[in-house]
Every structure is written in C-alpha cells, then in structure tokens.
Structure 1
C-alpha cells in the first residue's frame, strides 16, 4: 500500500510505502509528521526515511523525528544542503533558512542497492535537479519514487543554483531504460505508469 501526504510549502509529496507490517517513508515534507502518525495508527514499523534530494520542501519535516533511531538515507552529494539554507533553497523561497541538525538524526548515505527490512531497494542516481538527486526503485513493489527528477508530463527544474543541467539527458535515459509497467510517484503532483510518460512526456519522448 502507498499513502501520500501533501502540504505546503511547495506542495511536496511525502509517501508511505507499507507491506507486511513494515514501512518506508519517501521524502519528508511539511506533512511528514502525518506520515509518522499514519504508521503508528496502522502499527507499521518504520524501516527508514529515503530522501530523493535535499531541497527544503523535501526535508522540512525532519525535525519531527529528531532523537529517534529511524535511519535517514540521502545521496552524499546532497548532504551539505541539509544544514545550508542557501543550498537547499529555503532562504530564496521562504526568506528564512530551513536547517536540519544532522546530530539529531541518524543520517546514512544511500547505496546502489539496499535491503531495509523486507524491502529491496535500488538507488538510481539522476543528478540534474540537484547534484545528489536520486530515484528509488523498490523491487517487488512495482514502485519508482522519482522525487523531482520526473513529473507527470514534465521534469524538475534544472535552472536552480547548484543544478546540473548538462546531466539531465543522461539521467533521464536511466528512467527511459526502466520497465514501462512500473508505477512512478513524483515529488509534486500526480504519478502514474512510466509507459505513459514514455509516450507523452516530451522530455522522455525526445530521447
């Protein structure tokens, strides 16, 4: 089962993927505490938080798990953004910094393949929106969490500070090479089947 929670700022999606009494939380926006409450209500053991990247809207709720033993996975390239309001975009867009105290979370770096509880996860590096942007393919769940790499009929911005626009095509080709039968879940807006994006998303269609 996949539950979605969405709230301001920037209408970032936070997802809970659950199976057999275990859960993963993907991204941790302003409504991340609701994801924690959802897991508690459904008696789900949280195996990890997986961050697709470290822009402020995807990390702003992390303070709600300060002091817990829940591991928080991120690509090493985006780790510096956690404690820097200019790098994570919060100063420019909110007028004040969103700063995550790394000493209060159990920070881990995402590996290419990970086994967390019953979940087997493949981390796909897709830098361009940020240097450390990744997608998470959860094997056996037919689920691809794309963060701001891929949207329904669009992609994430590559014109922001510290973006890598020259990496966009290479990163999107990794998505294009995946099974079209996968369901994708994006960082903003709706998701759907990858096959529909291969046909109608202009950025993938052009590859």
Structure 2
C-alpha cells in the first residue's frame, strides 16, 4: 500500500490517495481536483470516500465522480450533515452517495483492504478507516496530532468523540495515524499527548 497526501481547499484538508496494484481510493477530496487527478492519472480509482460530510472533505466529489466513474461512499448518519454543509458552501446539487458505509464494511482495491470503524462525535456519521497489515488508520476529523476534533458544530457530541478516540487509541501503538488536517502521528504518540484528556468524563 502506498499513501499520498495532498493539501486541498481553503482549510488545507488532507486528501489521501491510497494505492495498491494500480488501483486507488481517494479519501476526503476537499477540492483542487486537478491536483488529485494528476496524482491518480494512471490509476483505476475504485472509490471516493468521505470520513464525514463537512464541505471541506467533499467539495471535490462531483468532479472526481464525473471524471473517474468511481463510487462515492459516506456513512448514512452523515447524510443530513452532507446536505446542510453542501447547501452552505457547495454549488450545484448535493453529491449523492452510491451507497452508505457502516462499521465492519471492507473497501477492497488492488490487494489492499480498508475496514470501516464508526467513530462519531465530530459528526454523527464520522468514520475512520484502517488496515491492520499496513498498520495505518485514517481518522478524519476525530483524531489529530495532539488534539481531538471539534464538537461545537451541528451533530457534534463531546461524549461520543471521547469514546471514539479511546477506541482508536486501542490500536497497536505502532500504527500510523493519518488525520483530516495537520501532520501524521502515531497511536503511541497520541496515547501520551492525550493522556489527561482521556481521563475526562461527561
């Protein structure tokens, strides 16, 4: 598995192109589609996946779908968030998911597999995607380097995000964490960085 990161959109979202054996999935396309397509030009893009429905993670979806023919996937619990955010910041029709993801689903491409973990809190339908064999997890806006996601937006829930972060930090400490914004980190580092936060209760 190869992982390429592109900073996209006004909020510099981490858009990931994850590649295996000539096939790819694109995570959180926040815009600047030409940059994404240039990186993926010789690849078969199987899926376009949003870790949640906020505009800065989906603005590139329509153009990518139209160009690549790939399916668009998101958790069903974020459909309302997707529509509300798109109506504020997007243009044209709201991107229509081809199917909805739920915990336990597996996204296959090349010889790689990304498994879905439902990690609500930042939004009701926030997800993380992980590959045990590669030792990686993509956490969207749930977990960052030294921080957790905001819960003061529509659908945010501080209790749920804390539960979700605790679940993520149960992964092996060697796992690399690819967040929705900011720098790469590891489970090991975030157990240390967030040790006091993890003791909080609501």
TM range (shorter): 0.7 to 0.9
The answer on 1:108 being equivalent to 2:107 is no
Q: State the TM-score, normalized to the length of structure 1.
A: 0.85
Distance in 2, matches of 1:129 and 1:30, equals: 21
Q: Which moved more, 1:185-194 or 1:133-142?
A: 133-142
Q: State the TM-score, normalized to the length of structure 2.
A: 0.87
The answer on 1:145 being equivalent to 2:146 is no
Query: Which runs of 5 or more residues in structure 1 are unaligned?
Result: 92-96
Distance in 2, matches of 1:20 and 1:134, equals: 25
Query: Cα deviation per residue 1:110-142 (whole Å; 9 max; x = unaligned)?
Result: 142314223222111111100101100024222
- The change in CA–CA distance for 1:203 and 1:21 in structure 2 (over 3 A counts) is farther
Shift of 1:105: 5.2
For 1:49-128, what aligned pairs fall within 5 Å after superposition? 49-67=48-66, 68-85=68-85, 91=88, 97-99=89-91, 101=93, 107-111=98-102, 112-117=104-109, 118-128=111-121
CA RMSD, 1 decimal = 2.2
Name the residue aligned to 1:16.
Answer: 17
Name the residue aligned to 2:35.
Answer: 34
Query: Which runs of 5 or more residues in structure 2 are unaligned?
Result: none
Distance in 2, matches of 1:64 and 1:182, equals: 32
Shift of 1:65: 2.2
Distance in 1, matches of 2:36 and 2:195, equals: 33
Query: Cα deviation per residue 1:50-96 (whole Å; 9 max; x = unaligned)?
Result: 210010000011121243530111100012233323xx6x73xxxxx
